[in-house]
Structure 1
Amino acid sequence: MKTSYKTIIISDVHLGTKGSKAKEIARFLKQYQCENLILNGDIIDGWQLKKSGSWKRKHTRFFNRILKMIENNHTNVYYLRGNHDDFLEQILPLQIGRLHILTDMTYESCGKKYFITHGDIFDSITTNLRWIAYLGDMGYTFLLWLNRIVNFYRFKSGLPYFSLSQYVKGKVKQAVSYVDEYETELAKMAKAKGCDGIICGHIHKAENRIIDGIHYLNSGDWVETMSALAEDHEGNWQLIYYSEIDFKSISHQEPPATSLRLTEEDDLIPLKKVSFEIPKDDLNSENFRF
């Protein structure tokens, strides 16, 4: 049987870019069942798709996997807007069956309340100086390109994977200071909202710790870290890393589909164009209690 969680949270998949680990995250999601799946921003990288990015079959398979989770396991899916998929602003908020598309949300479970947001709203560079944010995105894209070359030769030499971008972040004093300030400010926001914790993404740095009495959780990313947050049915949170999963010990048996019958080499579900008209007075963040 598959491992069952109450809630799984992933962020920063950046579908449409070369660095996105679309195959890995689809394989990851196949191993688990959950009542709630929260896609916490930057799932689709609209910035790169406007420039040099491309949409591939494996990127569509990621959404096919989510559709199977909804159909087979009745999973509730919440897609929160990030800065790279800010095109979603045009349709927020939106609900189609078990799929919810939102700006952010408040999650209550086992007597605790968490504010969940991608995190870019607290990033003054991304919010106020967008051209600098685009410049930073270009630099990160270059580091990922260079990283592939470096690790190609490391692999041929029998050396383990090395993250050039994480190395740079760890060595540049301003980057270290930014991450610390980012986490502290988010913890302050959670306290101001009367929450016990805050769950975010955005900075591609997985974390699970207490900051000034606030439970700070960051799901990491699916470009390099390949990590996710998971809550068990007792309300305990943990970080799961793809590289640490023993896939051989996990059963690959799928529960029978009710109406959506796709194999792992599934035929892609055709996506139809739909026009939405959202009332202007229905744009507030929603609270969800589980």
Structure 2
Amino acid sequence: MDKRNVDVVVISDVHLGTYGCHAKELLKYLKSIKPKTLILNGDIIDIWQFSKSYWPESHMKVIRKLMKFVSEGVQVHYLTGNHDEMLRKFDGMEMGTFHLQNKLILELDGKKAWFFHGDVFDVTMQHSKWLAKLGAVGYDTLILINSFVNWVLTAFGREKMSFSKKIKAKFKDAVKFINSFEQTAAELAIEKGYQYVVCGHIHQAEQREIATEDGKVLYLNSGDWVESLTALEYENKNWTVFKYEYQHFTKDELDEGILSDAEDLKSKLDINILLQNIKYEIAQ
């Protein structure tokens, strides 16, 4: 598969370091594109649940691929989220084409786009952070159980299922929260004069125009790489939601050896050093 040229790619809610993260699929996606700008819109590394005991090679490969983009001159913007909030104190840090920010404003073909994670709209995050963290652990456990169930279903030729999606569908409050989140983001963007508002956080990929009495805005959400496996792509003045589908990749491209990019594993980052540095920053 030839790499696709894309002006802007947005991913969020990857949650590296958790059992639910689909790092292998994300890696395949990243290796299928050639972006000019890559925006990591929060919760890329899940520091809330960061554990030295769980950091698979596939998660490290995603980090190395992101670093490779930087070395190739791709503009990489890491926007902080709630699960990697300890990085917020480094807002404004730049290393070559790597930028660490809490929010981002870009002009795309004459239109202003406002990028931020979106946890600022979450009441639980603002007033009961301990409850939100507890919920995150429960969610990760649910994903782990769901993975086992799907393994059994696949073995018997049955279709996979998503526990969390079924739970969300049954609770009207979850739907109300998503609608309220999108409406609030849109209203603020219209008030500030932006044509695009791009968020993450709620794990719900979306692209739709929202209108109010004061104007209209295109609301976009990049979804996640835990369940939805989605990203946003901007090319030829248009936004699209990319949905990862296994059939889009041939058998050869699924081979782990081909995906390695002939990387010298001896020169890879020492994961122990990475873990120590992150844990040191958390303690500050």
- Give the TM-score taking structure 2 as reference length: 0.86
**Structure 2 residue 175 is the aligned partner of structure 1 residue 176:** yes
Q: Does structure 2 conserve the Cα–Cα contact (< 8 Å) formed by 1:227 and 1:239?
A: yes
Match of 1:216 among 213, 216, 219: 219
How many positions carry a matched residue from both structures? 263
Aligned to 2:234: 231
- Matched residues in 2 for 1:204 and 1:263: separation? 30
SS at match of 1:148: helix
Q: Does structure 1 conserve the Cα–Cα contact (< 8 Å) formed by 2:49 and 2:137?
A: no
Aligned to 1:60: 60
Q: Does structure 2 conserve the Cα–Cα contact (< 8 Å) formed by 1:14 and 1:42?
A: yes
Shift of 1:154: 1.3
Shift of 1:244: 6.0
Shift of 1:70: 2.5
**Structure 2 residue 11 is the aligned partner of structure 1 residue 13:** no
Aligned to 1:49: 50
Q: Does structure 2 conserve the Cα–Cα contact (< 8 Å) formed by 1:200 and 1:217?
A: yes
Counterpart code for 1:187: A
Shift of 1:57: 2.1
Match of 1:241 among 235, 240, 243: 243
SS at match of 1:185: helix
- Matched residues in 2 for 1:12 and 1:211: separation? 23
Aligned to 1:259: none
Please identify runs of 4+ aligned residues in structure 1 that moved more than 6 A.
249-252, 272-275
SS at match of 1:239: strand
SS at match of 1:48: coil
Where do 5+ consecutive residues of structure 1 fail to align?
253-261, 276-290
Q: Does structure 1 conserve the Cα–Cα contact (< 8 Å) formed by 2:16 and 2:44?
A: yes
- Matched residues in 2 for 1:101 and 1:59: separation? 20
Aligned to 2:280: none
Q: Deviations for 1:20-78, whole angstroms, at most 9, x for unmatched residues? A: 1111111110001010000000000000016x862232211111111222333x21000
Q: Does structure 1 conserve the Cα–Cα contact (< 8 Å) formed by 2:186 and 2:217?
A: yes
Aligned to 2:90: 91
Shift of 1:249: 10
- Give the TM-score taking structure 1 as reference length: 0.84
Q: Does structure 2 conserve the Cα–Cα contact (< 8 Å) formed by 1:31 and 1:250?
A: no
Shift of 1:245: 5.9
Shift of 1:136: 2.0
SS at match of 1:16: coil
Q: Does structure 2 conserve the Cα–Cα contact (< 8 Å) formed by 1:120 and 1:126?
A: yes
Shift of 1:231: 0.4
- Matched residues in 2 for 1:250 and 1:106: separation? 39
Aligned to 1:199: 198
Aligned to 1:106: 105
Structure (1/2) with the larger helix percentage: 2
- Matched residues in 2 for 1:190 and 1:126: separation? 21
Q: Deviations for 1:180-200, whole angstroms, at most 9, x for unmatched residues? A: 111111111111211012101
Q: Deviations for 1:117-167, whole angstroms, at most 9, x for unmatched residues? A: 011011121122212212321331232122112212211221222111011
Identity %: 37
Aligned to 2:34: 33
Using CA pairs under 8 Å that are at least 6 residues apart, name the structure with larger relative contact order, 1 or 2. 1
Question: CA 1:81 to 1:159, structure 2 compared with 1: closer, same or farther past 3 Å?
Answer: same
- Matched residues in 1 for 2:252 and 2:207: separation? 25
Shift of 1:108: 1.1
Where do 5+ consecutive residues of structure 2 fail to align?
255-259, 278-284
Q: CA RMSD in A?
A: 2.4
- Matched residues in 1 for 2:109 and 2:246: separation? 28
Question: CA 1:269 to 1:25, structure 2 compared with 1: closer, same or farther past 3 Å?
Answer: same
